[in-house]
Structure 1
Amino acid sequence: MLKRFLATACLLLSVASLSHADTLPDYQRSSGISGNLSSVGSDTLANMMAAWTEGFKRLHPGVNIQLQTPGSASAAPALVEGTAQLGPMSRPMRVSEENAFQARFGYPPTAVPVAVDAMAVYVHQDNPLRAISFQQLDAVFSRTLWCGASQPVATWGQLGLSGRWANRDLQLFGRNSVSGTYGYFKQAALCRGDFRADVNEQPGSASVVQSVASSLNAIGYAGIGHQASGARMLAISHQGKAAIKPTPSAIRTGEYPLTRYLYLYINKAPNQPLAPLESAFMRYILSAQGQKAVSQQGYIPLPAQAVRAQRQALGLDASLKD
């Protein structure tokens, strides 16, 4: 657990401090790449996985990649059972998930950070609210109030709105419990507390944002990559600091408080190279082309130094010399 937190801290420092002017390595197409890959996991990464798959298959027409996106909780069992080679997750694996993998294979799964994401809080575009604090988020979404709120929030007036908004009830939207987004928000914004029973759980992040856009009284949480017309993101304040909007700059520097990494988990035996198809696909993701797709999907690409570190750790560049 300590190693995981140290690794995450180092990566966050790299995001905050490194120049994005540093160029990323281009993907070098390999000959003879064909076969099948299966990916099971995060809904948050669904659009990115689809974009990577499309770009990779243009270069390697003989490849078939099957994508299933029921949620992050589905990734670890699929890797353990061998029904998937790729496990996208919007959170780190839990200790119990890592232990199940280790018991099956004798070594831990390999977590590969592939993009930077931020959790956004959405309201209807006509809602006059512009900012919300961590304590208010806890009072809105949690029944345990472990972040210090004295009472739950049920109306928009309790969040400072007046006039016709003051007595309007909040309508809450969020993800279901198999989602890594659900787990991350529970840990980061609710101080590990429990969600209220009246949160309308949705099967995907896009559904959350669309629900908010369709209801004047709605508030919901989802990744920044699922922005949609009709919904607007709030600035968020934490520990008495000024409220920060989830802009690319604020996410890169770590100023925005709900910033996280998105991961692709794989089964890589120690001191053994990845299979050629898996190696090529990971090289594509960790390349200029792959990280451009991250940006196009509304997320934040990894810094060049972090990309190179992951490529070296996976032995991807060495495989080009074989």
Structure 2
Amino acid sequence: MSRLCLYYIRESEQNRWLPGDRYVRPIVRRIIRGAPRPGGVDKVFINLCLGLDKLGIPYEVNLPFPKLQQHDRVGILGRGLSCLNGYNQRNPIVAGIGLMTHPSEWPNLCEQYPVVRYLQHSHWANEVYKPYFGHRCTIWPVGIDTETWCSTHSESKSIDFLIYNKIMWNYDQRNLDLLEPICRILTQKKLSFEQLRYGFYHPQDYRQALKRCRAMIFLCEHESQGLAYQECLSSDIPILAWDRGECLDPNRFKWGMPHIPATSVPYWDERCGVKFKDIHEFPIRLGEFLEKLNSQQFSPRNYILENLTLEKCARHYLEILNQVQKSIT
């Protein structure tokens, strides 16, 4: 049986201000901010490994490239443009998620290396990569740890809404025309709320907030997968989600793609909650959401259990690698 060989190689620190400061900056960051917290791409790799562990599938991590054997299956999840440096093997590669932000950063990836599949988490993100990588593009979402993010129904709920603030661009303007009006409307309706801002909390803070809240308002321009909102759904907490329907990354003009259809909640159905497009639509959707919440019409955890468990998604990843292996034998 061929080995499963996974790679998640972080880009090395580069000097920024002074020669050799790449060795000092991580130490200073740790002193000031504490231990580093896994980011979204880190959690993709972690959750894939958790899923494989649950399936009892052995795997190698960051095996030196020269030690690869002829029939080994190779999955390179990232990270950055240097993660394939030194790869001279013939083994076909299943690449993604975290090699680049946009395919224009590495348009010749599949010619430079034997990449036969490039993974993206969702349909809209996959469409962005197709003009560059064509038939190699494949959709693969990572799984959610449904044991860690378990139902919170047994907890005493003291807050109506958690506002999860992941506004990424034009923050000051979005604060004025979206976040503050939402807070005013909730206050007017005597609905209690608390807020967490992406990048400014510890994972335990989020878990505790979900235990206190009946529902969540999710504010993010777009997500290729959206692990945080899916962890909320796994906790059986429905979401009122801001969904503009397009990518608002300012780099889209540099990419030559000024309009990219996108979504903030790529994995979703009516069990998960309600979506609103802008602040004008918010009051109507809030009323609809509250009516369904109070009549117990949502079942978000069931959606996650049916579609995005660690085991299901790890098995899907294996299927992709095994299909590649069969195609060359």
Question: Does TM, scored on the shorter chain, surpass 0.5?
Answer: no
TM bucket, shorter chain: 0.3 to 0.5
**Structure 1-normalised TM-score?**
0.38
Task: Flag the structure with more relative contact order, 1 or 2, with Cα contacts below 8 A and sequence separation at least 6.
Answer: 1
Look at both structures and tell me which one has the larger radius of gyration over its CA atoms.
2
